[in-house]
Structure 1
Amino acid sequence: MIKKLTFALVAIAISVATYAQSKFEWKEASGNGYKYKYVTNDPTQARFYTLKNGLTVILSPTKKDPRIQAYVAIKAGSKTDPATNTGLAHYLEHMLFKGTDKFGSLDWAKEKPELDKIDALYEQYNKSKDEAQRKAIYKKIDSISGVASKFAIANEYDKMMAAMGAQGTNAFTSFEQTVYTDDVPSSALDKYLAVQSERFRNPILRIFHTELEAVYEEKNRSLDSDGSLVFETLLSNLFQKHNYGQQTTIGTVEHLKNPSLVEIRKYFNNYYVPNNMGVILSGDFNPDEVIAKIDKAFSYMKEKPVSKYTFSPEAPIAAPIVKEVVGPDAESVTIGFRLPGNKDKDVLLADLVGQVLTNGKAGLLDLNLVKKQKLLRASAFTYPLIDYGILYLSAAPTNGQTLDEVKSLVLAEIDNLKKGNFDDDLIPAIVNNIKKYKIQSTENYGNRASDLMDAFTSELDWKTQVAYVNDLSKIKKEDVIAFANKYLGDNYVAVLKRKGERKDLVKIEKPAITPVETNADKQSPFVKMVNDMPATPAKPVFLDYGKDILKSKLGKAEVLYVPNKDNSIYRLRFRYKTGTLNDLKLPLAAQYIQFLGTDKKSAEQISKEFYKIASSFNISAGEEYTTVMIEGLQENFENAVKLYEDLVLNAKADDKALVALKARIAKSRKDAKLNKGAIMQGLTSYALYGAKNKFNNVLSDADLAAVTSQELVDRVKNLNNYEQTVIYYGPASITELTSKLAPLHKVPATFVKAAEPKVFKQVAQSKNQVLFTNYEMVQAETRWVRNTETYDPKNTTLVNVFNNYFGGGMGSLVFQTIRESKALAYSTYGVYASPSKKEDDYYMLAYVGSQADKFNEAVGAMNELLTTMPKLPVNLDLAKGQVKKDLETERITQDGIIFNYLGAQQLGLKEDIRKQVYSSVDKVTLDELNQFHQSHFSGKPYTYCLVASDKKVSMDDLKKLGEVKTISLEELFGY
């Protein structure tokens, strides 16, 4: 996969109390004969080792969960792709899942000659320009690939990892990193290291042409993404020499369809060397023991010089560059400023500038544009890379606005930044909020590992990351102003995304691919060896609702409490028994309150006050419950609750704010109708509940227009009169909590009963039907929906095993068949979804996203699996083992304990259902699973939900599946 861009700061958390007096220095130490470096006052306690062959090992032990987040990271990505073979680093990432000469093969001696033939044919194919000759070569590739696949075992890597209890097995490629990720039980670390050291020893590029199609389907998904188009356009204009802009991570269509296995191996040999790689682990382990194991596992690797990427500096942008792109999704404006690379002395200021512009509460864009509802949305962040950085601004118009007006509004806030038109105390407030964020980030071993990995691949000094907030707090307002004036002039690129039909999409003929063997029921000796390695499983920990949750009363309200024994963060919720099924105006009221002030404070002042004390509040209206959440540092608990309660009690209706909100909602509604994800969501709800369903249970345009300010304010003020539960996770004792909360939050003596809720019943599928909505796109996205029977807790074990076996992961039947064998899709799954309430039904939800001209084959492949389920005993053992190992290492903690309890209540359960699953999972048989499949799915009617272009799929083909209903956007959305 390609890494989705995450713009969270890399720096790791540090306890609030340590900032002022702490010193951050590199120190050296040793343990078990290995020298390592560490940074003083680093709460991750990370150790940095460099082995004899140059391999970096970073270990961050924490014993909260019996699991380890593991990364193998290579400091190379699409930036170093050859110009003649873009997308190569990403290709290679996919192929690292295919095995070596020891695993992934039934008979390497017989497989190798066939793979050598395929290698040679691809070189011919790559060089040939004659279309007839290319087709003939490809036919040979397909034929020999079929022969070679008889000796291959697909997905052995995924199956090994699943068998040891791994989660999140995947990989991603970006500009400067290729990273392989697994979350494994601590007891399976020896197995994990055995697999990883073998994986990188001699990777074999087998089952290549079907994986190539999967990558191309990934390219299709990017072609259907307006966001990808905008991002690529922005970068190509910001960086007219550097590969950040001149090469995309996924590569060009031409290069994807003309791969060179020789070049892929060359890339591996050049960059996958120990002095360019890191093994990063965080979790429950002894670092002195683990470093010796890693050294032994990877000692075969030999250090080699690595060529650094060189580039000519970009010329300054002398005048604004404005580009326009079109696509079917909603309109937007994106602006980018080029900044220095991540080691520049100004990089800390760049981070802060992004926060001054937008931090969700009190930034310039937040207060001046979003809070005042001048735009639909607006945001800014800095995106630092090694050679350059980007200040990335994005905004969307509200009703009646032009994109030029949006651009002007955003640039006006850049001018405010340059003039220093922001509060003097904004920077200290940002620092306080980052402190809170960083406290939260250390709570999870996965976050620790991710931060350490990002710093490694970004070539950042970990000392500066640990000292991040300390250094940030030294920055003055005048420094920010100077930075803005230095870097943010007329030297920007703006991309105006307009609605329209793209004319530049490349038409690609689907290749003639014969499905390859996956040998899903076979196993190599290496896999058996790994599976047989000793491992003492962790003992499962189940919740005892009577002991793990403390209960009290606040007046008539029940208080559910779990203590935070780790840090000073609290989360307080008021959960009111009324929701959208009772009142469609509640979500509107929840939105409206954020734009209101009181007789003493404006809405902007209230936002600033919350932000200054590193606190926030949010009101969200769900189907049955409306929840208010207030969170922050415990020292500010009373101030935050007072701020919220004062707002609710004294909120002043503001007609002007409501007019602006209605305009923004009207624009959001228009935009939703342009979003294919929202359209698919609507079709799925239609399939589950019928024409009137939960998705289109919204205020009509006329009802929305008629809503008054006062009735929304009244709803907010009346919220506290409904039956409520107080939920708290934090460091205060339950006695302290109730005593502090009692004078601040007045619970009424008698609760008001909410209006009778609207009831939506799931519809039975009595015949096959197709729900179709037209959308201009490259792919055709199809979902299968079938409601079955009412919830029964006795089915829980069987459902969990079935999902793992049938279609819930990369080792499942669905993935192996539709992607690995037939190369029909990049993304596909098939899961039996359990309801959240005891009176609701289970339903089947299957999905294939394929190139439109593969639609018939893709649908046929899924229907075949839904009709006849292959019986593979090895896969069943794997599925049961996954369920069991997940339960052994799952730890439900913090306020997750309370929400698990509330979820169990909705299902009518008195105790943690996981206990029942664990005790019964070993008893599930293949006959039982097959009978379950036959009785629930085989030969049964389905509703097909299809989003595709009517120019690319045939209505006659759809009619073969069932009765076709073309659903208009008005029917779908309810407005």
Structure 2
Amino acid sequence: MRVINLFLCLLLAGSLQVYAQNKHAWKEATSGGYKYRYVSGDPMQARFYTLKNGLTVILSVNKKDPRIQTLIGVRAGSNSDPKDHTGLAHYLEHLLFKGTQKYGSLDWAKEKPYLDQVEQLYDTYNKTTGTEKRKAIYKQIDSVSGVAAKYAIANEYDKMMTGMGAQGTNAHTWVEETVYEEDIPSTAVDKFLAVQAERFRDPVFRIFHTELEAVYEEKNRGLDNDGRKMYETMLATLFPTHNYGQQSTIGTVEHLKNPSLKAIRKFYNEFYVPNNMAIVFAGDFDPDYVIKRIDDQFGYMKTKPVNEYKGPVEKPIAGPIVKEVFGPDAENVNIAYRMPGALDTKNAVILTVLSQVLSNGKAGLLDLNLNKQQKLLGAGVSTLPWKDYTVFALSGRAKQGQSLDEVKDLLLAQLDILRKGDFDAGLITAIVNNFKLYEVQGLESNGNRANSLMDAFIKHKGGNWQYDVAYIDDMSKVTKKDIVDFANKYLANNYVLLYKRKGEDKSIVKVDKPPITPVEVNRDAQSRFLKTVADMPETAVKPQWLDYNKDITKGKVGNTDLLYVQNKDNGLFRLYYRFDVGSWGNKKLPLAAQYLQYLGTDKYSSEEISKQFYNIACNFNVAPGAEETTISISGLQENFDKAVELFDHLINNCKADEQVLAGMKNRLQKARADNKLNKGQIMSGLRSYATYGAKNPFNNQLSNDELNALTAGELVDLLHALPTYKHTVIYYGPETLDKATAGIQRLHRLPAEFKATEGNKQFEKVQQAASKVLFADYDMVQAEVNWVRNGNLYDPSSTAVVNLFNNYFGGGMGSIVFQTIRESKALAYSTYAFYAAPNKKTDRYAVLAYVGSQADKMNEAIAGMNELLTVIPESEKAFETARSSMKKDIETERITQDGIIFSYLNAQKLGLDTDIRKNVYESIDGLKFSDVKKLHEQNIAGKPYSYCILASEKRVKLDDLKQYGEVQKVSLDEIFGY
């Protein structure tokens, strides 16, 4: 079953459909008056119901936390878009947040005629070709939409969900699916179902033209994303006739400019029918109660035949097809194959094992032969498992002085090794053992459970779930011959070769900004439906506080402290060594940690160490943070001794290797150059510059000269010395305290006396005396703006009001910032603002705000955010919603497992010795809007800010930025420190 960690979800994307075994067979049962099916031996104990109208309901109970991950999925995505209206499924997903006749409207009778007029105008606009005529019609659309918006209540859906304590309100559209996501308190089932049943009853497509502008922004963000361009080029080439390659989820620029509300309504009526939808619950609930309530609420839906997309059979690829993609980001190469689809369960399981033989992060062919030997900057494997076809791809990045063709040859050489069968058959056993570990880890997460079940529904309406449950058993039956035969059959010269090259993309056509008059959001309005939902009874959940003196056992391992929490859920352990020195104290420490993965000892080579850890399904990691370094070792408790002993042997006996260091330096130089091409890295550096000044944590790096002068002996000496520094030992696992203590003391060598560290360098946040602009040039369509201002020193008594302010002001789709910037003014796809608390008592708060917009809307976006930073709008209803949400979040939060220990350590850094959530919770009811306003006035309004602006000088004039303060163009060398 596909309950696996995030890394594997991304790697495999749910491709694991396999041979079902007799011990995993479908069974039937009846409970609470409802018949359901289940698969024997399913550790998730998932119940599959089919209601009379064809609606699929899948329930998996997990009592760990008093919350439920819910998903409502539709088996229709961009594949199902009409050829002349691509992007339509994605449009519709956005519009399902706009409400119905019962909510989202002040007066439906008065609103409806204007919405009908808007729909007709868009239909006319869609059929009109003349530029001036289209402008005139759009002007009418903008005018009528503004009148209609006077009767709309923006984001009332989000207000209802926030008010009942929901988290993670979101949705996504992909090739074969549209899924709506909510994480709700266990007590909110009735409220949730009441809202969702109404949501899908008869959605109203209101506030359309501003939401359409948000989609324009999303499209433009994609045009600035070289990875997305590579993805779309890969699909278009692999699938010249199938919709997988011919219809992108976001849609074409032409179709985005010509939307049709009538076509969207037709799509909704065709695909949003119960026999094409599923509701998934994973979490703490009574399944008998939930299924009855779902039946009661969704029984109104009528089944209807669905014309499911049947893609054409693509012609075989006869030889390599080469494509190039240009853009400002770093270069790389991809080799993509078209494989049998996920419904071909026999081949799917072989492909899963094959992909792990190639790359599993430790002992695959790419891991050992390329990454471990530093033959390139990095290589990996990915799969996209859809119904008709699976995409299988290898990717690689060049190191310094290496061409993309050389990277390509290295990748293809690993496929040749695979085809010849030059790999250890025992690797398959190790792969299976690691998947058993991932399954146990995945069962802890409601999100993993729900997504696995929804994926099964999207692929085959859940009918093949027994294959999912049995897949680890069936993976163990895959032989080396199966893999070799598969590789020889499917991995030949039938690939698409994509080169991502640095250079100007002259094919980009951005979606232009249409003139939009800001619309009303009616922030304080409430529909009767919202009031009805809010008044529905619910049993309060009592919050649970940590008692650090009782919930953590404190002991000793030799001469160091031990923090212990027992794992009573499964057989997994996590062991940590936590040192009070990090990269701020020693800039070489991150390099030493990276160097360790390439080193061997007097007994084992680096490759042998990786294989040993993989064979016992255990992991280790050395993670230098800013002021702490944490070594973690984890896996199955039955292999605890082997894992701990092996790591201790490695760090104490690793041998210096100048040749390995030379390879690492080459790769680091290339990675550094690539970082300077990445807009996310550049903006992170700009923010750090604004926060701390020219010398800051981001550019606290070795210079290139210092890097070149570094010796292998220096790094190995640092690694050998690390265990001799004072550190705290943390154990979370199934062993008793005595056994855990004895085991650690036996296996983890400790010095008679710890060496003193030099301590960490301290970076002080600067005080902004006047507003200024830090500008960095980057070739992109959009402009990204961050506001940074440092505030007062940490004050634990302010925690409640700070959290409430963030909930109210800029923390979600119902917040003041989101409603104003995106919903009312359509100035950005993404925006936020919050007052960030520090993580140690000697540090300061910081105001952080963000808008990502089209370059030609940047000044409007800045003005919009500045208005909110100057005067905080008052909304009684929004304030009450923020306060209610905050209470329910705390009531249903459960800090468990080793999270208890890290909560304690974080509290210590803040100078606290108790669970501050208790004080916060008890303060909430006493907080008033005046408290939030006071925080805003004292710390945010009328203050100088540092504007961090990343944009293209071709689209933004530096002289225009002077209105915000003194402009400083920051070079990449200044940002990165090398």
Q: Which runs of 4+ in 1 moved over 2 A?
A: 3-14, 19-22
* Maintained 8 Å contact 1:12/1:438: no
1:526 aligns with 2:529: yes
2:10 aligned to which of 6, 9, 25: 6
- CA displacement at 1:200 relative to structure 2: 0.2
The alignment status of 1:430 with 2:419, answered yes or no, reads no
User: Partner residue of 2:146?
Assistant: 146
Q: Does 1:933 align with 2:936?
A: yes
Using the TM superposition, give the Cα deviation of residue 638 of structure 1 relative to its aligned residue in structure 2, in angstroms: 0.3
Residues 356-381 of structure 1: per-residue CA shift (max 9 Å, x gap): 11000000000000000001111013
503-512 or 431-440, larger mean C-alpha shift? 503-512
Q: Does the CA-based 8 Å contact 1:349-1:479 persist in structure 2?
A: yes
Match of 2:674 in 1: 671
Matches within 5 A, 1:912-927: 912-927=915-930
Q: Check if 1:502 corresponds to 2:502.
A: no
**Map of 2:187 onto structure 1:** 187
Answer yes or no: is the 8 Å Cα contact 2:11–2:381 preserved in 1: no
Does the Cα contact within 8 Å between 1:357 and 1:364 map onto a contact in 2? Answer: yes
Equivalent pair of 1:321/1:492 in contact (CA under 8 Å): yes
CA deviations over 1:831-881 (Å, ceiling 9, x no partner): 110000100000000000000000010000000000011111111111111
Indicate whether 1:816 and 2:786 are aligned: no
> Which residue number corresponds to residue 759 of structure 2?
756
Cα separation, 2, equivalents of 1:539 and 1:305 = 46
Using a 3 Å threshold, how does the CA distance of structure 1 residues 642 and 21 change in structure 2: closer, same or farther?
A: farther
Equivalent residues of 2:20, 2:467 under 8 A apart: no
Q: Secondary structure at the match of 1:433?
A: helix
Sort the Cα spacing of 1:436 and 1:847 in 2 relative to 1 into closer, same or farther, 3 A: same
Whole-angstrom CA distance in 2 between matches of 1:755 and 1:393? 44
Q: 1-side partners of 2:216 and 2:487: how far apart?
A: 41
- Distance apart, 1:22 and its partner CA: 8.5
Kept in 1, the 8 Å contact 2:13–2:383? The answer is no
Give matches, 1:454-533, under 5 Å: 454-459=455-460, 461-533=464-536
For residues 448-459 of structure 1, the aligned pairs below 5 Å read: 448-459=449-460
Q: Which amino acid aligns with 1:515?
A: P
- Report how far residue 508 of structure 1 moved: 3.9
Matches within 5 A, 1:644-663: 644-663=647-666
Residue matched to 1:415: 416
Letter in 2 for 1:191: K
- Paired residue for 2:370? 369
**Following the alignment from structure 1 to structure 2, what is the Cα–Cα distance between the partners of residues 159 and 183?**
14
> In the alignment, which residue of structure 2 is the partner of 1:352?
353
Quick one: distance in 1 between partners of 2:33 and 2:933?
A: 54
**What is the match of residue 861 of structure 1?**
864
Supply the distance in 1 between the matched residues of 2:511 and 2:200 (Cα, whole angstroms): 34
The aligned amino acid for 1:397 is A
1:194-238 deviation line (CA, Å, top 9, x unaligned): 000000000000000000000110111111100000001111100
Counterpart for residue 47 of structure 2: 47
1:173 is matched with 173
> What TM-score comes out, normalization by structure 2 length?
0.98
| 1:537 lines up with 2:536 in the alignment | no
Structure 2 CA distance for aligned equivalents of residues 476 and 906 of structure 1: 52
Matches for 1:546-585 after TM superposition, within 5 Å: 546-585=549-588
Asked whether the 8 Å contact 1:12–1:441 carries over to 2, the reply is no
8 Å contact 1:358–1:381 — kept in the other structure? Answer: no
| Aligned-partner Cα distance in 2 for 1:927–1:419 | 73
1:914-964 Cα deviation digits (max 9, x unpaired): 000000011111112111111111111000000000111122220001000
Identity, in percent, stands at: 59
Aligned residue type for 1:180: Y
3-state SS of paired residue (2:747): coil
TM-score, structure 1 as length reference: 0.98
Q: Which residue of 2 aligns with 1:844?
A: 847
Who is 1:321 aligned against?
321
- Match of 2:831, SS? strand
Name the residue aligned to 1:295: 295
The count of residues paired between Structure 1 and Structure 2 equals 969
Tell me the residue number matched to 1:908. Answer: 911
Helix, strand or coil for the counterpart of 2:10? Answer: coil
- Deviations 1:700-720, CA, capped at 9 Å, x for gaps: 000000110011111111101
Distance in 2 between the 1:389 and 1:409 partners? 23
Q: Indicate the residue corresponding to 1:881 in structure 2.
A: 884
Partner of 1:398: 399
Name which of 825, 831, 837 aligns with 2:828: 825
Q: CA deviation at 1:600?
A: 2.1
Rounded Cα–Cα distance in structure 1 between residues aligned with 2:521 and 2:10: 35
Post-superposition CA distance 1:118-152 (Å, at most 9, x none):
01100111111100000000000000000000000
2:706 aligned with 1:703, yes or no? yes
Q: How does 1:604-623 map to 2 (within 5 A)?
A: 604-623=607-626
Kept after mapping to 1: 8 A contact 2:72/2:180? yes
Residue in 2 that maps onto 1:641: 644
CA RMSD across the alignment: 1.5
1:590 aligned to 593, 596, 604, which one? 593
**1:715-726 maps to which residues of 2 (within 5 A)?**
715-726=718-729
Give matches, 1:753-792, under 5 Å: 753-792=756-795
SS at structure 2 position matched to 1:180: strand
Deviates more, 1:442-451 or 1:486-495: 442-451
- How far the C-alpha of 1:817 sits from its partner, in A, is 0.2
Question: Residue 343 of structure 2 contacts residue 459 of structure 2 at CA under 8 Å; is this kept in 1?
Answer: no
Give the unaligned 5+ runs of structure 2.
Answer: 1-5
Q: Deviations over 1:711-741 (max 9, x none)?
A: 1111111101101011111111111111111
Q: CA deviation at 1:756?
A: 3.4
Shift of 1:382: 2.4
Tell me the amino acid that sits aligned with residue 339 of structure 2. L
Contact 1:571 1:728 in 2 (8 A): yes
User: The residue matched to 2:45 in structure 1 has which SS?
Assistant: coil
Change (3 A) 1:35 1:248: same
The Cα offsets for residues 55-90 of structure 1, whole Å up to 9 and x where unpaired, read as 000011121111110011001100110110000000
CA distance in 2, matches of 1:649, 1:940: 52
Contact 2:30 2:36 in 1 (8 A): yes
Shift of 1:9: 5.3
Q: Which deviates more from structure 2 when the two are superposed, residues 797-806 or residues 638-647?
A: 638-647
2-structure distance, mates of 1:60, 1:857: 47
SS of residue paired to 1:6: helix
Q: Any idea what SS the aligned residue of 1:198 has?
A: helix
- Partner Cα distance (2:759, 2:168) in 1: 42
CA distance in 1, matches of 2:781, 2:654: 49
Query: 1:315-370 CA distances to partner (integer Å, 9 max, x unpaired)?
Result: 00000011111100000011111000111121111111111110000000000000
For the 8 Å contact 1:58–1:452, the answer to whether it is kept is yes
Residues 756-786 of structure 1: CA deviation (Å, up to 9, x unaligned): 3211111001101000000000110000000
Give the corresponding residue for 2:70. Answer: 70
Q: Write the distance in 2 (CA, Å) between the matches of 1:265 and 1:458.
A: 25
In the aligned structure 2, how far is the partner of 1:21 from the partner of 1:32? Answer: 29
CA offset at residue 13 of structure 1? 14
